[in-house]
Amino acid sequence: MNEYVAIDTLKFLLYNVHQVEELLTKERFADYDKTSLDIFLDSIKTFSDTALFPFIKDMDEKPSYFKDGKINVHPQFENIIKTAGELGIVGAIFDYDDGGMQLPSTVFQAAHFIMSAANNHVPGYFGLTSGSANLILSFGSRDLKEAYVPNMLDLTWGGTMCLTEPQAGSSLSDVVTAATPTDQDYYQIKGQKIFISAGDHQFSSNFVHLVLARIKGAPAGIKGVSLFVVPKNRSTENGEFTYNDAAIVGEFEKMGQKGYCTTHIVFGDNDDCRGWLVGEANKGLSYMFQMMNEARISTGLMGASIASAAYYSSLKYANERPQGRKLNSSGQKDATEEQTLIINHPDIKRLLFSQKAIVEGSLSLILQSSIYLDREMTSSSEEEKEKYNLLLEILTPIVKTYPAEKGIESISNAVQILGGYGFCSDFMPQQYYRDIRIIALYEGTTGIQSLDLLGRKITMKNGKALELLAIEIQETIKKASNFDELQPFANTLLENLGLAQKVIGVLMPHAMKGNYERFLADATVFMDFFGTIVIGWQWLKMATVAKQTLEDKNGNQPELFYESKIHTMKFFYTYEMTRTKGLAKTMMNTEELTISVSKDIF
Amino acid sequence: MNEYVAIDTLKFLLYNVHQVEELLTKERFADYDKTSLDIFLDSIKTFSDTALFPFIKDMDEKPSYFKDGKINVHPQFENIIKTAGELGIVGAIFDYDDGGMQLPSTVFQAAHFIMSAANNHVPGYFGLTSGSANLILSFGSRDLKEAYVPNMLDLTWGGTMCLTEPQAGSSLSDVVTAATPTDQDYYQIKGQKIFISAGDHQFSSNFVHLVLARIKGAPAGIKGVSLFVVPKNRSTENGEFTYNDAAIVGEFEKMGQKGYCTTHIVFGDNDDCRGWLVGEANKGLSYMFQMMNEARISTGLMGASIASAAYYSSLKYANERPQGRKLNSSGQKDATEEQTLIINHPDIKRLLFSQKAIVEGSLSLILQSSIYLDREMTSSSEEEKEKYNLLLEILTPIVKTYPAEKGIESISNAVQILGGYGFCSDFMPQQYYRDIRIIALYEGTTGIQSLDLLGRKITMKNGKALELLAIEIQETIKKASNFDELQPFANTLLENLGLAQKVIGVLMPHAMKGNYERFLADATVFMDFFGTIVIGWQWLKMATVAKQTLEDKNGNQPELFYESKIHTMKFFYTYEMTRTKGLAKTMMNTEELTISVSKDIF
């Protein structure tokens, strides 16, 4: 019995559905073959089984805490940081030249999924260090790279992203942290940042903060925001380190992910905080956004992985707990019979299939997007590069949001399977239910992602991204249509593609007329609608590969494994795809209910 | 600004929509008029403002705990128990002859809603004492009434309901707690019960447990279950009290409602636990079920009240927090403008309307059901009694479930409005998000309620309950149709009534053919579907009264108050009623996806 993740499904998705081996023909990945990828994934699974999963409950019960200016995380992090450093997790996708492993991003995301399902309080520490190192590598000077990246690769130092400020929240154009030029190579930094994930801990000797700040005199709004490297401790001329006036002043106490610290940092309270500009002035936000796709994929992945852990936890319970009896043909139960396992009740099966559909559908989409990312990176032509970039751009807000929002529902179903025990701290689902609630808020809330999807991605380059996505979906429909069993579902997907075009056709004229508020008022409903169709595409793709494998009799799993993919696809189309018409109707309403009224109506 | 409940809406529902004053013409309620009801509700609001709401956060942070065989609840309970005793809350709806206030149940539920919205960790202590006293009053001997009820009325003693056992869970036919007859008037009780809400605390000197147990030799299943009064301390011949071998052995640690204890009780571990039979042997479950409608209404009410508190908490935040700017006609924001309050963003309005629609729709249905309960109780003819009983029976599982399930969604929307702060312990929505998750599990899970709705209530007396409900709904449709503005929504409700008939027409033949598993496989989907239609009925009813009041210009609230009801009705029809067709399609599928497969498919 799987405890938090199904490796067989993960490998089916990687190798069969998304054919990651095709990527290995690219020069960048030439050193890898299926065997070496499997060895890497197996080592991550062993790490997760031994160093991560056994501690997730204890990290919830003994949260990271702030005391005397310091963040203290769970003692197990000492071992975790050391082992993760040895495994090369931070630099897994970096170039060999930068000390990385040059792994395909898709494979790394699969590894990340395993770790995060085992213990979602942990991988953010690796991810933020990796992301901030990547920013320095991509846009920083050679000096900055040499000064910071090597120590980050093995987690001797940690990295963070400092975007949010108390008065601005999601509105990054309102960042006020100030950077004052000096006659040296650095700026004086002054300001405060909140919600800094992985912001500090006792097992890395230094932290490298990537800070958005405004150089004195810069233009208002996002066009005046620059990016700085601001270490917690800076090196001095004699090679020693001195405190750089970057003070942890508190930690946010949260309802979940309690092992993963969220800090409040004050820079330059004593006017002695130095920051080094990354790249050019006033381009900070554009640099950040070039890392955003990966960060958002990782966040969605974290949501899907928590839902995975909850799914397997509730599945285990359903397979062990006897309760109730089957109804006989008079609609009665025979109390003298033995109780049946609850997994035999149709409603429990419904709760399980609903989780399986959300978890595996999300995971498939995550890997799909990662494939596009890898293909973009390794494209030989500009045209191909643009194609994969646009596909990635349009899917990213969905990858971030679908697992976050539907993951809540999925885990609520896991809680429900345990009955009263689901609410009790002795069992895991209640922790996952708390943990996952952050995912729809991190890295751009669902509202922000939805504005991005409808307001930017659907309209970008005259709808080219959407057009490319429609071609990909139609290709899946065509392949599925070769099988009688799948034909009706292929037809449904095609209808839904048409419905999406129709909805966009109704909404776009509002934008054309300059009524953007109206155009975007139901963006979140559009996200739900379009996300459901996209996951429906992934399920049809999975079912088609499963069906083909059954026909070819060349699977390395039992037949029931492939049948279960086809069955879950049918479940998704029967219980989830049926929602799209209602959502379309909502979006095409002419009432303008959320625009036409003043705030006093509440 | 309301902090947890809107009294103006509550009174609009009580007096205008559900016309509670009509009840006061009944002899039972003849001592009351609108003024005295208002005084009662005002006293409850004052109690809630001063003794309940200020302590809800502290009760979460300092949970009730078990130590040395005792449950310790928050110290504020000393004051709460005393004041609630003085206010007569336990006996509010009891007969004068039994020491009660003979209040209409509808008014008492309104009072309960205020208290529970203020602090959902508290009213269960009153409710269980009231419920167990009511069981003794309804079915117990005169001796039992005299021995127990007077001390329960002022909470000197507390009461509990002991149903669940570890091996049986929801399956009450598997209760094994044993009752052995003696040659005295009592039975020897032996067994254990879990999940005993309000099971003990330091501020009541005795507890009266109402325990389901099986008399030696009783038939298997629910037909062999009897009901016993088992006090924690029993009186002796000399009028002293001695411990009755009913040991608290632990408390369930929970993710929410931490101030409300959930205990594990072992009866008769030293073979000295005495229980007194209530009513006749083997009828225990039928007695319990006669109290069940009220218990289930109260549970749904608790869900709606928590969602109310979260709604007002997020509304306050949305009205105070500036962030972001409006889009101009080029779809851009002007960063030099001041930030706007987030309540001015359409997506925030959508999140608020969605909460308002769920909270007020649920509350209206709760009061509707309570009106039926009061009318059943005061009916002069058997025919009328049956009518209101059937209406109550069919609505009860929905009243229990809709606020529980949609309340989770509602509170998740409250969390989302606060952005990152929504996940932080400093703010209330995260607590409400945890608190409400128990509601779908208490008093019969959503799965159990859904089987009850489709399997028993829809089919009972050849569909008579459904027929009566349809008449009530059609009456609302007819009244609404007098107003042009409401006509389209009345039509939608009528269509949905037809759709419900159609779905039932597709499902019923499975039952006729003895295939109950198939008939009930999607009962939970039916609950979602039918519950949405029923809440749609309540919204149309509210909107019709609001519209009539505006036309008659005889409201005691500003016009915007009535307009907001009509507007929220439109929101519900545009964003929620659009879901029913998809759910109908799901239920009418022929795939049998949750029945046809073995448990090994997962």
Which pLDDT score is estimated for B91?
97
Q: In this complex, do B578 and A586 lie within 8 Å of one another by their Cβ atoms? A: yes
Q: Which residues of A touch B318 (CB under 8 A)?
A: 599
Q: In this complex, do B419 and A441 lie within 8 Å of one another by their Cβ atoms? A: yes
CA distance A248 to A264: 6
In this complex, the residue of B324, B327, B517 whose CB is nearest that of residue A346 is: B517
C-alpha closest to that of B186 among B261, B249, B278: B278
Distance from CA of A383 to the nearest CA of B (A): 29
| Six-digit token string for A72 | 């203290």
Classify B154 as helix, strand or coil. coil
Q: In this complex, do A525 and B601 lie within 8 Å of one another by their Cβ atoms? A: no
- Tokens 């409602």, located at residue: B257
In this complex, the residue of B318, B323, B331 whose CB is nearest that of residue A170 is: B323
Q: Give the range among A247-261, A281-295, A519-533, B527-541 with minimum mean pLDDT.
A: A281-295
Three-state SS string over A482-530 comes to CCCCCHHHHHHHHHHHHHHHHHHHHHHHHHHCCCHHHHHCCHHHHHHHH
C-alpha closest to that of A416 among A429, A402, A400: A429
Q: In this complex, do A171 and B567 lie within 8 Å of one another by their Cβ atoms? A: no
Distance from CA of B528 to the nearest CA of A (A): 12
In contact, A264 and A196? CB cutoff 8 Å:
yes
- Angle in degrees, CA A543, A546, A552, rounded to 5: 140
Averaged pLDDT, A95-102: 97
Which pLDDT score is estimated for B463?
96
Query: Residues near B174 by Cβ (< 8 Å), separated by ≥ 6?
Result: A335, A339, B165, B167, B168
Interface of B with A in 520-539 (CB under 8 A): 520-525
CA distance A426 to A422: 9
Q: In this complex, do B170 and A595 lie within 8 Å of one another by their Cβ atoms? A: no
pLDDT tens string A468-513: 999 999 999 999 999 999 999 999 999 999 999 999 999 999 999 9
pLDDT tens string A390-445: 999 999 999 999 999 999 999 999 999 999 999 999 999 999 999 999 999 999 99
In contact, A251 and A71? CB cutoff 8 Å:
yes
In contact, A10 and A27? CB cutoff 8 Å:
no
Beta bridge partners of B235: B241
C-alpha closest to that of B542 among B361, B387, B405, B376: B361
Which pLDDT score is estimated for A586?
98
Q: Is B459 exposed, middle or buried (0-12, 13-18, 19+ CB in 10 A)?
A: middle
What is the DSSP-derived secondary structure letter of residue B236? -
Residue type for position B386: E
CA distance B597 to A220: 61
- Tokens 């109402």, located at residue: B210
CB of B447 within 8 Å of a chain A CB? The answer is yes
Averaged pLDDT, A589-594: 93
Which pLDDT score is estimated for B172?
85
Q: Is the model's pLDDT at A210 over the cut of 60?
A: yes
In contact, A108 and A138? CB cutoff 8 Å:
no
Distance from CA of B361 to the nearest CA of A (A): 15
**In this complex, how many residue pairs, one in chain A and one in chain B, have their CB atoms less than 8 Å apart?**
278
Please report the beta strands in A15-165, taking only residues with DSSP state E, as ranges in sequence order. Answer: 65-67, 70-72, 157-162
Query: Between A210 and B173, where is the model more confident?
Result: A210
Which pLDDT score is estimated for B125?
97
Classify B561 as helix, strand or coil. helix
Please state the φ and ψ torsions of residue B233, each to the nearest 5 degrees: -120, 135
pTM of this prediction exceeds 0.80: yes
Which pLDDT score is estimated for A327?
80
C-alpha closest to that of B9 among B365, B403, B349, B360: B360
CA distance A348 to A302: 25
CB of B498 within 8 Å of a chain A CB? The answer is no
Averaged pLDDT, A36-50: 97
CB of B591 within 8 Å of a chain A CB? The answer is yes
Which pLDDT score is estimated for A169?
77
In this complex, the residue of A326, A339, A578 whose CB is nearest that of residue B582 is: A578
CB of A217 within 8 Å of a chain B CB? The answer is no
Which pLDDT score is estimated for A167?
86
Q: Is the model's pLDDT at A1 over the cut of 60?
A: no
What is the DSSP-derived secondary structure letter of residue A168? T
CB of A170 within 8 Å of a chain B CB? The answer is yes
Averaged pLDDT, A167-191: 92
Please state the φ and ψ torsions of residue B392, each to the nearest 5 degrees: -65, -45
CB atoms within 10 A of CB B329: 10
Q: Name the percent of chain A lying above pLDDT 70.
A: 100
Q: In this complex, do B347 and A599 lie within 8 Å of one another by their Cβ atoms? A: no
In this complex, the residue of B164, B346, B440 whose CB is nearest that of residue A521 is: B346
Averaged pLDDT, A47-59: 98
Q: Which residues of B touch A169 (CB under 8 A)?
A: 321, 323, 419-420
Interface of A with B in 376-435 (CB under 8 A): 408, 412, 415-416, 419-420, 422-426, 430-431, 433-434
| Six-digit token string for A254 | 């949260």
Classify B180 as helix, strand or coil. strand
Q: Which residue of A has its CA nearest to B456?
A: A331
- Tokens 């519209």, located at residue: B547
Strands A226-231 and B274-277 turn out to be: unpaired
- Our separate counts of H helices and E strands in chain A read 18, 12
A173 band by pLDDT with thresholds 50, 70 and 90 = confident
CB atoms within 10 A of CB A462: 8
ipTM of the complex: 0.96
- Listed as ranges, residues in chain B with pLDDT below 50 are none
pLDDT tens string B372-413: 999 999 999 999 999 999 999 999 999 999 999 999 999 999
Q: In this complex, do B437 and A168 lie within 8 Å of one another by their Cβ atoms? A: no
Strands A187-197 and A178-181 turn out to be: antiparallel
CA distance B445 to B460: 21
In this complex, the residue of A425, A585, A601 whose CB is nearest that of residue B564 is: A601
Q: In this complex, do B419 and A564 lie within 8 Å of one another by their Cβ atoms? A: no
Q: In this complex, do B517 and A326 lie within 8 Å of one another by their Cβ atoms? A: yes
Q: Which residues of A touch B562 (CB under 8 A)?
A: none
Which pLDDT score is estimated for A199?
94
| Six-digit token string for A16 | 């069969």
In contact, B71 and B201? CB cutoff 8 Å:
yes
Averaged pLDDT, A255-267: 97
In this complex, the residue of A434, A455, A580 whose CB is nearest that of residue B331 is: A455
Q: Which residues of A touch B524 (CB under 8 A)?
A: 347, 350
CB of B221 within 8 Å of a chain A CB? The answer is yes
Side-chain half-sphere CA neighbours of A597 within 13 A: 26
In this complex, the residue of A328, A335, A420 whose CB is nearest that of residue B221 is: A335
Side-chain half-sphere CA neighbours of A272 within 13 A: 9
Q: Which residues of B touch A333 (CB under 8 A)?
A: 173, 221
CA distance B365 to B252: 32
pLDDT tens string A103-116: 999 999 999 999 99
Side-chain half-sphere CA neighbours of B4 within 13 A: 25
Q: Which residues of A touch B582 (CB under 8 A)?
A: 578-582
Q: In this complex, do B602 and A524 lie within 8 Å of one another by their Cβ atoms? A: no
In this complex, the residue of B346, B567, B593 whose CB is nearest that of residue A601 is: B567
Q: Which residues of B touch A214 (CB under 8 A)?
A: none
Q: In this complex, do A582 and B579 lie within 8 Å of one another by their Cβ atoms? A: yes
